Chains A and B, each alone.
Chain A
């Protein structure tokens, strides 16, 4: 249903163009949940904003195509894109408290989507808004209809935002860290709500998160991004059982668990390079425990691994179908495990 081919989005900083995300390839089928994971600054949000064409004014899609239902939407004009946004593709954002206009009631803000995209009578719209509020699990929908955003809790606001996103029965929902600003119990409820809605409506979800717990809960397929590049693609079980890229291993290694209590929590050393000073070769080279000379010179391609059919990885140190290695794979894996455990 959605195919992103070689998407590159660049930002103009001091009159120079810097690619913020480079050569992104994503496919998403109907009824599927795809998670994009990575640290802050890895280009997850830029990818989703490119898809919605909501980039800040200094950003632009510089190459690639976004095929949605057999049409390249990067070629769409403003008007055509407005018809698509909120109707067929909708999006929810990180902080629900600031995602709503403070001076209008919640009901009005949901109704506004219907005003723009559907030809209902006013009563039909009000009825639809109330039923939407009910569907997202809001207890007194009629009261909430007339409530202002500041009168609601974060979890309630996020439900209102979700109701707004679902108002016109979209086919694709993009959720950019939908639970990051909420406390844990509410997080679980919102995630369950999203999963239920996905089942009921056969919705495709593109979920952006840095939380591997959320990934485990929601994803069918996972894309790991680092410094504007996709470094690993796999289905959910393969990713957690056999992570290949050292970055993915690092991310999984840095999740706290009760069994590792008392040990120091692993963290990937260093930070994501900034957009203006990307390293040559593999972008993860400065933080990678396995980095060899080659990693500093030549950029690896995203390629299928040899032992799992649907897993792709961008690393010189993993056996890939088309890749050339510089040492036997078995040895490297041992080395990686050793480095991880020594850092624990």
Chain B
């Protein structure tokens, strides 16, 4: 369980997040929605310790965030990963990154690790690209590589920042089906998304964020008013897309 209490975060005096208190229960398939600049990516980066906390606390599995992070990691799929397309890494190398942190200095990934990585890649439908250099992969393929890496980390928490970016519409659906399977296997999933239609089919927990928290409740309890309060007029633009 992730417990967030009285979280405030600002950059150069400008408030990015205000008074965020939130519990994300184990096994939830939580979606964070909100307009651009609402602080969604900042919130997940604060949860993962990628940005130092300024005010408030984050506890994970009843431990202080810093304590938890000493022994655990999050399975994270960033919105956009900065990488050089000419970097000499294969898709398999990037997936193995998910497990490399568990190995001591001087030890490389074993055949068993590679086998396990390939199995995960099979789940995300990217096994046939394992030996391909990352520069040759399409956006959608690389997205699946990053998901495989997050899965291989074996973290109980998967955090995804707009995973549908770079995937076509049918691809998004199969991607969320896969996430739902992982959720049913016990993983707690937290995803940032703009795709309300897809979210309503798969998510169990909605976090409406626009610098402050507007609601955090089961999907069916979230009505249109709350969505509109979070997004303002932008939600209509999203609806028009489909």
**Pair from one complex:** no
Please give the residue numbers on chain B whose beta carbons come within 8 Å of chain A beta carbons, in ascending order: none
